[in-house]
Chains A and B, each alone.
Chain A
Amino acid sequence: MTGGGELAIIILSLKVAATAMVVTLPFAFFVAYALARWRFRGRGLLQAVTTLPLVLPPVVTGYALLVLFGANGPLGWLFRETIGLEFAFRWTGAALAASVMAFPLLVRPIRLSLEAIDPGLEEAAETLGASRLRILATVTLPLALPGVLAGVILGFAKALGEFGATITFVSNIPGQTRTLSLAIYSFLQSPTGDAAALRLIGFSVFLAIVAIIGSEWIATRLSRNGKSRNG
């Protein structure tokens, strides 16, 4: 029951959450940008689909992933055959589940911060000869940074603690898919696991506090950068 030890569980959880963030962020930014800036057919649908994982029971999301990305699922088959990536009962599956669950939490703050940017600034950059890519890199992205960071911190916390979709999709396999929440749950089920569960709970609380302090620090740094700074 205690396979891998607590340190291995923590490292696995961090790996899963970090991978989830790296993979999701570009998609989330693109979707947030599309929702904030473009008026297109199906915009309402995209918005609904984006919010779906937030309101669906996580077990349902996990089941949907199982059907689509499982060993016999169409997308699961596609990934296996094309790039040799397998999700079923692997840590990659846990990362995928975490990505999907964290997605709405990333999109929302990014979209809000994009909507707060004065489109006039992008126009000004255009008249100054900047290409679309340069405008994105030098104006849009830096100004949306507070939203991006807020989204990443929220999403990372969600990915670390994700339970329902993960256990439904890739089960609870020590060393592969047994992340923090799943491990705590397992230890609590076992008559001898209370001490280990407590240690992991302690670590979760510690991580949460670090995340909050970190996000506060980033927020104050960013707002100071934008406002008063005399030469």
Chain B
Amino acid sequence: MAEIDVDVAVQAGEFTLEAAFEAGPGICAIFGQSGAGKSTLLRSVAGLVAPQRGRIEIGEEVILDTDEGICVPARERRVGYVFQDDRLFPHMSVQRNIAYGARGAAQPEASEAEQVVAMLGIADLLDRYPATLSGGERKRVAIARALLSQPRILLMDEPLASLDHARRERIMPYLERIRSETRIPILYVSHEIDEIARLADTLVILSQGRVVASGRTPALFARTDLGAWLGQNGGGVLLRGIFRHFDPEYRMIEVDLDGYTLHLIGPDDERDLPEPGTNLRLRVHARDVAIALSPHGDLSVRNQMPLVIEYIEKVDNAYSIIHGLIGLQPLRSRITRKTVDDLGLHAGMTVYALIKSAAFDRRLVREQHGSRKIHAWRSGSQDD
């Protein structure tokens, strides 16, 4: 069932946006270069831009249908908009800022407000004014304000773009928490492929006002024709595994990948460990995958899995990309053409893919699809 169904045409001066896509629950990333129409798309969902033609449906409710003459005004759409520039009210304390949208019918339970404040770690900031907050703090307050207005959908416009790398790393877990702890669908605008690989359940690639491709993120990452957008060689693929076990002594975790066991480095904070059985998404860059003809017990590389070569793609004179399958999941390896020739690699051959534990993204990303709901705070204690 689609949570979000969008089909809009917006004409703004020279620029035309024509986009149609649908997305399920979780995070739907809108990806594209600047000027691709990402923000315009978000603004038309929020009702801040009036599309010439279009239809927008969010969880059964039609908020725009130009054929039927339906256009719900922005203030009644109940979208939680996290703007790129935060837009906190400078004359109000953090407390009053986050309470601004939470009134009348949208008044959340006091416990819910507390939960959001705790989830985003802003309890100590409530009496402060926006001008005294750091960039990361402002962003968390903006997210809390959007969440507490009881939104049907969250719209996030490059929430991490204005932050440096360290702050980005600190905010990302909060976004993952929102994704796993609430049922609100999220439209997430970004031009950072790393964020998308980590966060997005579905992905819409936008270019010059048009949708190039849309669908589930791992499926799009596995496609070879989207290299121009998702990164030619470095892009890598997304693997799906099941979390099995954590070894606190070495801070290593074991993940089941279609019957093979992967050893990865665990998260910095044990609280971020998922429950055993949770589906995880792992991102592997093609450049981090080495190839061997047989397994080796005397290597430092812990992860050695059989890989069936589908085909070998020549990138340039120096490099080739091996496209293969581990079980049923696609994996790519970028190695030199000389190695390909020296080892005599060819399509249909079974070799071993070697991946260092450290090559995986340190953060554990839960797959929304098929995962257990951790707890659903929006509807109280439902499935404990």
Select one of A125, A126, A128, A143 contacting B90, CB under 8 A. Answer: A143
Q: Which residue of B lies closest to A231 (CB)?
A: B127
What distance in Å separates the Cβ of A132 from its nearest Cβ neighbour in chain B? 9
What distance in Å separates the Cβ of B150 from its nearest Cβ neighbour in chain A? 9
A123-B48, A226-B90 as given contacts; A129 in contact with B83, CB under 8 Å? no
**A124 x B91 contact (CB < 8 A):** no
A120-B85, A120-B87, A121-B87 as given contacts; A127 in contact with B79, CB under 8 Å? yes
The distance in angstroms between the C-alpha atoms of A139 and B128, with both chains bound, is 18
CB of A220 within 8 Å of the partner chain = no
**A229 x B129 contact (CB < 8 A):** yes
Q: Chain B contacts of A127 at CB under 8 A?
A: 46-48, 74-75, 77, 79-81, 101, 149
CB of B104 within 8 Å of the partner chain = yes
Q: Which residue of A lies closest to B104 (CB)?
A: A129
CB of A81 within 8 Å of the partner chain = no
Residues of A132-154 whose CB lies within 8 A of B: 138-139, 142-143
The SS class assigned to the B binding surface is loop
What distance in Å separates the Cβ of B161 from its nearest Cβ neighbour in chain A? 16
Q: Which residue of A lies closest to B79 (CB)?
A: A127
The SS class assigned to the A binding surface is helix
CB of B287 within 8 Å of the partner chain = no
Q: Which residue of B lies closest to A129 (CB)?
A: B75
Select one of A139, A227, A230 contacting B89, CB under 8 A. Answer: A139
Select one of B47, B83, B128 contacting A124, CB under 8 A. Answer: B83
Residues of B191-238 whose CB lies within 8 A of A: none
The distance in angstroms between the C-alpha atoms of A229 and B95, with both chains bound, is 14
* Apart from A123-B74, A129-B78: 17 A-B pairs, beta carbons within 8 A: A118-B87, A121-B89, A125-B89, A125-B100, A127-B48, A127-B79, A127-B101, A128-B75, A129-B103, A130-B75, A130-B100, A138-B100, A143-B91, A228-B131, A228-B132, A229-B132, A231-B128
**A128 x B128 contact (CB < 8 A):** no
Select one of A126, A142, A143, A228 contacting B74, CB under 8 A. Answer: A126
The distance in angstroms between the C-alpha atoms of A230 and B149, with both chains bound, is 26
What is the total number of residues of chain A having a CB less than 8 Å from a CB of chain B? Answer: 23
Q: Chain A contacts of B149 at CB under 8 A?
A: 127-129
The distance in angstroms between the C-alpha atoms of A127 and B77, with both chains bound, is 8
Contact with A along B38-60 (1 / 0, CB 8 A): 00000000111000000000000
Residues of B107-128 whose CB lies within 8 A of A: 126-128
CB of A82 within 8 Å of the partner chain = no
| A124, A130, A228, A231, most chain B CB atoms within 10 A | A124
Contact with B along A104-127 (1 / 0, CB 8 A): 000000000000001011011111
What distance in Å separates the Cβ of A222 from its nearest Cβ neighbour in chain B? 9
Measured CB to CB, the residues of A under 8 A from B are: 118, 120-121, 123-131, 138-139, 142-143, 225-231
CB of B342 within 8 Å of the partner chain = no
The distance in angstroms between the C-alpha atoms of A120 and B145, with both chains bound, is 15
CB of B293 within 8 Å of the partner chain = no
Q: Which residue of A lies closest to B124 (CB)?
A: A231
Residues of B263-316 whose CB lies within 8 A of A: none
What distance in Å separates the Cβ of B107 from its nearest Cβ neighbour in chain A? 11
CB of B76 within 8 Å of the partner chain = yes
What distance in Å separates the Cβ of A7 from its nearest Cβ neighbour in chain B? 40
Q: List 5 A-B contacts (CB under 8 A).
A: A126-B48, A127-B74, A226-B90, A226-B131, A228-B132
A129-B104, A130-B75, A231-B127 as given contacts; A124 in contact with B87, CB under 8 Å? yes
Q: Chain A contacts of B83 at CB under 8 A?
A: 120, 124
The distance in angstroms between the C-alpha atoms of A231 and B125, with both chains bound, is 8
Contact with A along B140-167 (1 / 0, CB 8 A): 0000011001000000000000000000
The distance in angstroms between the C-alpha atoms of A6 and B270, with both chains bound, is 80
The distance in angstroms between the C-alpha atoms of A57 and B76, with both chains bound, is 51
What distance in Å separates the Cβ of A225 from its nearest Cβ neighbour in chain B? 7
The distance in angstroms between the C-alpha atoms of A125 and B100, with both chains bound, is 8
Q: Which residue of B lies closest to A122 (CB)?
A: B87
The distance in angstroms between the C-alpha atoms of A129 and B76, with both chains bound, is 6
